């Protein structure tokens, strides 16, 4: 199961890099929860709305490492944003249920994104 989940996680993030929200939606469980430094939302619509803002803001996303075990997948990736933010390194821990992402926990330095 972990290979399938890993493939789904990579496909989800590849769709994110292509800014293809309709493909991304196919990988999310209806009750998905997104937990991160700037958001804690539950439900597919709320998560997609949160992700939509990110899609409009970055130039490129590159997966650097990927690991899967059982129902969990961890990805390390870089996101290139226009100046003044630049490169942001991030990681995500995804938990799968019934082949879909049910929990989506983000790890990154949020300070460049907080209005001062």
Task: Tell me if 72 sits within 8 A of 95, measured CB to CB.
Answer: yes
Q: In what order do the strands lie in the sheet with 87-97?
A: 40-42, 28-35, 100-108, 87-97, 72-80, 60-69
Write the pLDDT tens digit of every residue in 65-102: 999 999 999 999 999 999 999 999 999 999 999 999 99
pLDDT digits (tens, 9 = 90+) for 16-40: 999 999 999 999 999 999 999 988 9
Task: Give the SS3 label for residue 20.
Answer: coil
Do the beta carbons of residue 28 and residue 44 sit within 8 Å? yes
Q: Residue 86 carries which DSSP code? A: -
């Amino acid at each position: 199961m972990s290979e399938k989940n890993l493939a789904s996680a990579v496909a989800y993030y590849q769709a994110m890099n292509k800014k293809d929200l309709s493909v991304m939606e196919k990988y999310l469980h209806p009750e998905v929860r997104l937990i991160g430094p700037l958001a804690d939302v539950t439900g597919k619509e709320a998560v997609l709305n949160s992700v939509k803002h990110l899609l409009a803001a970055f130039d490129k996303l590159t997966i650097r490492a990927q690991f899967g075990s059982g129902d969990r997948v961890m990805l390390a990736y870089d996101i290139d944003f226009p100046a003044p933010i630049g490169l942001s390194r991030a990681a995500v821990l995804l938990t799968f249920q019934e082949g879909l992402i049910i929990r989506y926990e983000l790890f990154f330095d949020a300070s460049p994104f907080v209005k001062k």
